Structure 1
Amino acid sequence: MLYYRQYTNDYTKPWVTFIHGAGGSSNTFFKQIKEFRKHFNVLLIDLRGHGKSKKSRWQKGDSFLQISEEVIEVLDHLKINQTHFIGVSLGTIVVQTLAQKYPDRISSMILGGAVIKFNVRTKFLLTLGNLGKYIIPYMWLYRLFAWIIMPKSAHSKSRNVFVDQAKKMCQKEFIRWFSVTRAINPFLRKLQRDFFNIPTLFVMGEEDYLFLPPVKDLVEENKDLKLECIKNCGHVCNIDQPEHFNNTTINFIYKQTSLKEVL
């Protein structure tokens, strides 16, 4: 089973489950835990090969479907029937996959630094990574990707956090995660046709030049989806602007319940 941490203060309160991005771990939500624990029961999960979930169970053909099933395994173990999900970066693909396969387990989705489409630049990065993944040390590639995705000096804290967390991975795990990004765009398009009946909030940094444009297009086409753009903020908005991220996401979750907004 995946490694997890839970913070339970009242079983009558809603659950909020955090899903981190590629190369990260549940520790990347360190700026959220204290505030969310005041209002909700909190579950943080380390995806396979990340953080303390070191034992990998990769099999040929594994995809985000199998990764999402491991998250459900944790929920079943803890007897959590339904939860709000907060995903960041590549973790948003895991959450979208859960929404397609297990919609009854999701109260709402918050997708931070959401990955819903790979543009030409992103595809080039993936191609570069796939060509070099067997010969170039994965940390060289990861640092390069982190700098391209989060290029500004204001994003340095986010870059450093993710690079530090990625050091806990190994080349073999990096290669396997890279493999699941092949032919990802058709998979993402299918996901986005299926989750519109779930309350969904996108939280994006205005400086997230790779991933913000397709999110804006999607929200314009689907008025039921919500978008919050944060100024002076890059891809990893929960670290760049944690107070804004926390206030926005907590109030969104409260709106999905009978509880009153608190912030």
Structure 2
Amino acid sequence: MTDNMLFYKTYQHPSSNEWVVFVHGAGGSSAIWYKQIKAYKQHFNLLLLDLRGHGKSNNMFKDMIANPYTFKSVTKDIVHVLNHLKIQSAHFVGISLGTIIIRNLAEIAPDRVKTMILGGAVTRLNTRSQILVKLGNMCKHIIPYMWLYRLFAYVVMPQKNQRESRHLFVREAKKLCQKEFKRWFKLATEVNPIMKYFKEKELSIPTLYLMGANDYMFIKPVKEMVQRHKFSFLTELKDCGHVCNVERPDDFNQHSIDFIKQHKTTYTA
């Protein structure tokens, strides 16, 4: 593993040729998938990544410090790992902002993506979240980033049964430095333009949206998108919020693994 490559960890299956790649959201790390590993590794080979600046990738990309992050550059980091491991194509599982990165990967390299499992998918920032992003963008130079992150975590995951998810993301976000947080925060302002394009252009890749029924900030635009796209499907998880892989792991695992098995022969490398 070189200094310009993301930190990654793999789990090899004794007989399966299918790969599943897990992509976390902003402020998280590959640690958020701890409730998926046991179930998934019984069926597939697994690749877990820490996005640039996150988890154990936080000391990398020193040559990129002066450059702003874009969805394209962050996506190419993942392609670099796939090439390094000689993984031609895979199934991708993402959560929150990681779902946009997966969708962007499918746009620039559709032959690499067999299926997409998009949990707590961000397909559009509503008015409330846009206001929060703008306020945060204005205050990011004067307010400690952890104050902002705790605020956002509470707004997105406000309910009592989402406490574990909030604590997990806040814990992982502490590994980010202030400058790193600012780069990813600025990237969030690009969500609506890129997702408007994705909404208009559907890819013929089987896509499962796994959304908490109580994910009030993001579930409505997902429903609208699924109605427009014939290769997309939505499963709502009851009594569940934004980080559905943590709040309802058994349901998340069952629905996503079944979906991958159903479509694993749709595309071949």
Residue 158 of structure 1 corresponds to which residue in structure 2? 165
TM-superposition CA deviations, 1:83-105 (whole Å, max 9, x none)? 00001000011001101101000
Bigger shift: 50-59 or 143-152? 50-59
**C-alpha contact 2:69 2:184 (8 A) present in aligned 1:** no
1:258 to partner: Cα distance: 5.0
Structure 2 match to 1:10: 14
Structure-2 change in CA distance of 1:107 and 1:258 (3 Å): closer
**Deviation for aligned residue 1:191:** 2.4
1:104-123 to structure 2, matched below 5 A, reads 104-123=111-130
Is 2:230 the partner of 1:223? yes
Structure 1, unaligned runs of 5 or more: none
Secondary structure in structure 2 of the residue aligned to 1:85: strand
Identify which of 51, 58, 78 aligns with 1:71.
78
Matches of 2:231 and 2:224, distance apart in 1? 13
Give the aligned residue type for 1:174. F
User: Structure 1 residues 81, 154: CA separation in 2 closer, same or farther (over 3 Å shift)?
Assistant: same
Aligned AA for 1:252? Answer: F
The structural deviation recorded for 1:10 is 3.2
Identical-residue share of aligned pairs (%): 48
Cα distance in 1 for partners of 2:259, 2:190 equals: 32
Partner of residue 193 from structure 2, selected from 176, 186, 198: 186
Aligned residue in 1 for 2:48? 44
The yes-or-no answer on 1:175 pairing with 2:167 is no
Question: What is the CA–CA distance in structure 2 between the aligned matches of 1:175 and 1:258, rounded to whole Å?
Answer: 41
* Contact preservation (8 Å) 1:84, 1:107: yes
Unaligned runs of 5+ in 2: none
Secondary structure of 1:245 counterpart: helix
Note closer, same or farther for the CA distance 1:110–1:148 as it changes in structure 2 (3 Å cut). same
Which one is further off, 79-88 or 6-15? Answer: 6-15
SS for the counterpart of 1:52 is helix
